[in-house]
Amino acid sequence: MTVKCKKLLLIFTRNAELGKVKTRLSKSVGDATALEIYQYLVQKTQQVINKVSCQKAVYYSEKIIIDDLWDSKTFQKHLQKGNDLGFRMLDAFKNSFESGYEKVVIIGTDLFDLTPSIIEESFLSLDSNDVVIGPAKDGGYYLLGMKMLQSRLFEDKAWGTSTVRNETLKDLTNKKVHLLEELNDIDVFEDIAQHPDFQHFL
């Protein structure tokens, strides 16, 4: 593959299957509503991404879907590989740098407040920083970007807990890091209870 644009946005997405997405949220709203909310978030993410000028690659959790909202003409399609989130992200970043990309940024598909300008800022910040992080209010991060593979960031983390961001920053004490604005992932009922865009689901 010939890399024309040196910027790559990785999108980690879960295959939308009943009972397998937004499992913490489903405890409050049920599996069917949790699936609808997840599909809504994926659509919103895709709309945001379409406004960003860069190469894009979708990494599916279970299986690659050819005919879906991720247009194969625009999005490279891959399967996540690894036993936990850290291994899967490491594999995706490693593949990206080995393919010749110089700036690689990863996001998920459960962030309603993500904007094109935040993604653009993340790429721009890598001109003068080693790593960029989008801090999430739950103690994790919603975005991670780098211009050289930082393997340590994917090791020895309790993924899905409030310690992830601080542990990641400890690994970067000798690196120049740019922090984006803090945003809120949609994970539990409290994240959507007062959010006007989600009231029609409740």
Model pLDDT for residues 156-167, shown as the tens digit of each residue: 999 989 999 999
Name the CA dihedral angle for 100, 156, 185, 59, rounded to a multiple of 10 degrees.
Answer: 40
7-201 adopts what CATH topology? Spore Coat Polysaccharide Biosynthesis Protein SpsA; Chain A (3.90.550)
Mean pLDDT throughout 190-202? 88
What percentage of the chain exceeds 70 in pLDDT?
98
What is residue 164's three-state secondary structure? helix
Give φ, ψ of 36 to 5 degrees.
Answer: -60, -45
Q: Are 85 and 159 in contact (CB under 8 A)?
A: yes
For residue 137, what are the contacts with CB-CB under 8 A and spacing of at least 6? 182, 183, 184, 185
pTM, entire model: 0.94
- pLDDT of amino acid 2: 52
